[in-house]
Amino acid sequence: MKIVFLEPLGLKTNIIEAACADLKKQGHEVVVYPDRNENLNELIRRAQDADIVIESNIPLRKDFLDACPNLKMLSIAFTGLDHIDMEECKRRGIVVKNAAGYSTEAVAELAIAMMIDVYRKVLENDRITRECQRKGILPGRELGGKTVGIIGMGNIGQRVAKLLNAFGCKVLAWNRTPRTVEGVTFVDKETLLKESDIVTLHIALNNATRDFITEKELGMMKPSAILINTARGPVVNEQALADALKSGIIAGAATDVYGTEPPLKQDNPLFDAPNLVMLPHIGFATEEAFELRLGIGVENAECGMRYAEF
């Protein structure tokens, strides 16, 4: 079979080649493209005769699938699958596997870093330092002892809870289905929003969670509270968040995700919002996570062939 890596997954090609050594020994052809290119015509050129395609979060829709008649499997080195035309894949019998769990540690650690960044005003104090000021230092707050509400208690939410427990935080949580997690008190959504000093989001994006945080939910939070979003952008209504920060309804926020992937349009309402840390969707982006997702992606391809899923 022909296995095509549409992109290098953030790694050097020699690392990918080494991970595919067994596949090559089995007689499979492995092609690794050394750059990321989202142009449809180029994607089709790369994958048009592939049996298996491995990639991360490049959108693959019906027009791509139409041009790849041999395609039997998509091994997605990413957690979410909202960039894949799943209905069309199902109709064609194309197996789709994701890399669930590869970025659990990376995203959890970034969520904690964002909490500390907002509390200690790291970016603002960096600016003050570079401007050679001293009297303008901005005092911050400590994470220890705060009440943190986690919305969504999957693998990432649970890892965040463990890290917060180490900081000495009181951890509240809301989850769609009941769970029992050591060191965590489960409450309803309204209680979590009203009692938390920090609210951090770790839920998947679906019809039920789109606009999960709007003007109504932000209005329930403490004026001193902050919101952290490393989940999916549309979970939070961006205009409502910008308005809440401008009017002081909440004290601050940090987001790594948006309604559309960066680069953002200049008219995004968050650009004008104060006390907001904006990151370019880097939650998954660590060397360790990249290597882990490569391993999962290759393993998915191997399993698919081994058990003749296609």
Catalytic residues: 232, 261, 281
Go through the chain and tell me how many residues it has.
310
- Taken in order 288, 29, 61, 13, the sign of the CA dihedral is positive
How are strands ordered across the β-sheet holding 184-186?
184-186, 170-174, 147-151, 198-201, 226-229, 252-255, 276-278
In what helix (H) or strand (E) does residue 74 lie, and over which residues does it extend?
Answer: strand 73-76
- Rounded Cα gap, residues 124 and 112, in angstroms: 18
Structure tokens at 280: 């370019």
Closest listed residue to residue 276, CA positions, set 232, 214, 229: 229
Residue 150 pairs with which residues in a beta bridge?
A: 173, 200
